[in-house]
């Protein structure tokens, strides 16, 4: 992976990501009543579904081009969702057959594809071409955790740029200390910190910027 390409990605991500994160803290989101979940029938398989892209493929231009977004969403993200569901089915079959010979393999597949599916859903929801800086509760939490906004952006960019191989930079809420922390994730699942809530993610896999 070329360092200049990853650096360019991070510059572009800085322009599009923060406004989407702000949406998590707006009163409209806080007051909106969630839809009543549909209860599956007793024998109905429960599957992960790919969330709709919250904007048109060209909505992030000039930061991320239309073709990159379309391929990333329809091929890569879709593949993680499909493979996550396939792995769940394989595990169902293994339990039915009482055959755990390949359990180590399927556990790895479950973590890899499930984490990939969920992180990509966050990734699309984080971004907006308008960009912006945090306000209100989020701004206060960043001040508490990093002292100032520039400290956060410096650490987040450095973490994302130095991921070994392919992976993610992640801003997460850590409930024990009630503060924000910056994490690196290799692949999708490695180096995770249990119990944290990912809020802002930056995909530094090559498929996020290779066109």
Mean pLDDT of each 10-residue bin along the chain, 211 residues long? 54 54 39 55 77 95 94 98 98 96 98 98 91 86 96 96 95 97 96 95 90 69
With vertex at residue 47, the alpha carbon angle to CA 79 and CA 194, rounded to the nearest 5 degrees, is 80
Residue 40 located in a structural domain: no
The backbone torsions φ and ψ at residue 184, rounded to the nearest 5 degrees and listed phi first, read -105, 145
What pLDDT sits at residue 133? 83
Which stretches within 54-200 are classed as H helix? Answer: 66-71, 78-97, 103-126, 136-146, 149-161
CA–CA distance, 209 with 65 (Å, rounded to integer): 9
What pLDDT sits at residue 134? 85
Asked if residues 202 and 211 have their Cβ atoms less than 8 Å apart, the reply is no
Range of the domain at 11: 3-29+58-208
Residue 18 located in a structural domain: yes
Residue 43 located in a structural domain: no
Residue 80 located in a structural domain: yes
Residue 47 located in a structural domain: no
**Domains in the chain: how many in total?**
1
Residue 172 located in a structural domain: yes
What pLDDT sits at residue 7? 57
What pLDDT sits at residue 71? 97
Asked if residues 165 and 205 have their Cβ atoms less than 8 Å apart, the reply is no
CATH of residue 149's domain is 3.55.40.20
């Amino acid at each position: 992976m070329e360092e200049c390409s990853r650096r360019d990605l991070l510059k572009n991500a800085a322009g599009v990501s923060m406004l989407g994160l702000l949406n998590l803290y707006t009163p409209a989101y806080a007051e909106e009543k969630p839809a009543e979940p549909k209860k599956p029938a007793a024998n109905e398989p429960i599957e992960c579904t790919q969330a709709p892209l919250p904007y048109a493929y060209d909505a992030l231009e000039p930061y991320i081009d239309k073709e990159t977004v379309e391929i990333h969403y329809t091929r890569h993200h879709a593949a993680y969702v499909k493979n996550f569901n396939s792995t769940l089915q394989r595990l169902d079959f293994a339990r039915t057959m009482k055959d755990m010979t390949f359990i180590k393999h399927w556990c790895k597949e479950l973590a890899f594809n499930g984490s990939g599916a969920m992180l990509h859903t966050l990734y699309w929801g984080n971004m907006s071409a308008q960009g912006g800086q945090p306000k209100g509760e989020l701004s206060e939490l960043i001040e508490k955790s990093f002292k100032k906004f520039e400290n956060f952006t410096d650490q987040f960019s450095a973490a994302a740029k130095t991921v070994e191989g392919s992976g993610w930079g992640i801003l997460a809420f850590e409930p024990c200390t009630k503060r924000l922390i910056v994490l690196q994730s290799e692949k999708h699942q490695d180096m995770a910190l249990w119990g944290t809530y990912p809020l802002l993610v930056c995909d530094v896999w090559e498929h996020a910027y290779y066109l």
